[in-house]
Chains A and B, each alone.
Chain A
Amino acid sequence: MRKLRTLHRWLGLLVFLQVLIWMGSGLVISLVDAGVARGSTTLQQVSTTPLDAVAPQALTALNLSPTVENIRLTRIDGEPVYRLATPERVTLIHAETGRPLMIDAERARRIARASFAGDASIVAATREERPAALAKFEGTAWRVGFGDSLATDVYVDAADGRVLGHRNNRSALVEFLLKLHFMDYNGGHDFNHPLIIVAAFLALWLALSGALLLISSLRRVGLR
């Protein structure tokens, strides 16, 4: 039992700081409203209008790549658009004129505005490659910043005009806490690296040795 106690103390000495960080960051993440941090309180569904008045060009006029897998006729920012997807890339073509449709800053602002529930005004629109705020997105996005109390950024895919998500100051707080929780100091949500595996292994034995000590102490002296 003495050996177990020594083990518990030494493990405690080795990982106490990270264990405190896990508990503290976990607690604060749990206290922050996850819906707000996810951006779901400002995100609204964009109402779509039927395509009935549209006279789309024929598929043969589209100059299709032989690898195209998916053709979608839809509206983006009110315009009828063909979205052509190959395994490598997505292209937008105006469905009536056949000209490429670009997601420029103006269009990105309008798309962001339509997805935003509220009347805060837009303060900035900047192009970002692999934005750090979107862990899984590898492409280029427009970041459209709003002047609301949460300082919401709406991310719009620069390739196809899709709304990738809303991020705000709570998301940034949670991102920071997750970095600490995952010991992931480079960003990118990597929680499978050697450092954290070693730390988690030590913490596992800290918890198990603590549980054994507690049981034996309760047996010997009860609650004292």
Chain B
Amino acid sequence: MRARLLSRRLHKWLALLVGVQLVIWAVSGFYMVAVHIDIIHGDMLVQPVEAPLAGGLDQVLSPADILSARPDAHSLNLFMRGQRPVYLVASEQGDAVLDARSGEPLPALTGDEAAAIARRYFSGDAPVRSTTLVERDPPSEIAPFPLPLWRVDFDDRWGTSFYIAPDSGRFVTRRHTLWRVFDFLWMLHIMDYEAREDINNSLLRILSSLALLLGLTGSWLVYLRFAAGRSR
């Protein structure tokens, strides 16, 4: 039966072209569906931290005071940095963090201060292993966030890193081994080996077209075997 032989050959040749990527799609896809996205996001690593302003408001300068010193401000934001109320002043010149009681610019967090903030957000009890200030060449896992950032690594079985903004003291994000594996497999899944975000690349388009053809010839073979083949 010529049609059958031809489909079989086509199926084999297409498999030769896309086989490796097909196995990669299957493995990466299985990981992404099997490990729950909340675990990938590391929800279990973080506990909610309440930081009410109530305790720190009594001697705080009023927004009007800050505005008279910084008339170019586009927005003022008052919140607690650790135990201290601060104003984050945003303007054309960028952001500045001021002590909300004195109005003086605050130095960036030290590594120990960043580690103390990270500790409060960490739900586990493993100790901090190291703190590093990331100022340039960020690892791809924090690509979307502005630098600098404190990276606080915990000595736990998840390989947890928390990222803290040195000026505002904000908890920016968390990463751990399962996230990093997911991110690597995502790169393989979408075939963008640089920024890991371009799903419109030609390689992916060509390979998925070929894979679709492979799937169609395979389905045709299944049809021949199980439906048409039965009457032989």
Binding site for B on A (CB under 8 A): 9, 12-13, 16-17, 19-20, 22-24, 26-27, 29-34, 48-52, 54-56, 58-59, 64, 66-75, 87, 95, 191-192, 196-197, 200-201, 203-204, 206-208, 210-211, 214, 217-218, 223-224
Q: Is the CB of A87 within 8 A of B29?
A: no
CB of B10 to closest CB in A, whole Å? 12
Bound complex: CA of A70 vs CA of B52, how far in Å? 8
B→A interface (CB under 8 Å): 9, 12-13, 15-16, 19, 22-23, 25-27, 29-30, 32-37, 48, 50-54, 57, 60, 62-64, 67, 71-80, 91, 198-201, 204-205, 208-209, 211-212, 214-216, 218-219, 221-222, 225-226
Determine if A31 and B75 form an interchain contact, defined as CB atoms under 8 angstroms apart: no
Closest to B208 in A: A27
Across the interface, do B54 and A58 meet the contact criterion of CB distance under 8 Å? no
From the candidates A13, A50, A59, name the one contacting B57 in the complex (CB within 8 A): A59
State the 7 A-B residue pairs at the shortest beta-carbon distance, nearest first: A52-B71, A207-B26, A74-B75, A27-B208, A23-B212, A71-B78, A73-B76
- Neighbouring B residues of A71 by C-beta, 8 Å: 53, 77-79
A51 and B34 contact, CB distance less than 8 A: no
Flag if A197 contacts B222 (CB, 8 Å): no
| Total residue contacts A-B, CB cutoff 8 A | 173
Contact: A218 with B16, CB < 8 Å?
Answer: yes
How far is the CB of A82 from the nearest CB of chain B, in Å? 8
CB-CB under 8 A from A26, the residues of chain B are: 208
B219 is contacted by which of A12, A66, A87 (Cβ under 8 Å)?
Answer: A12
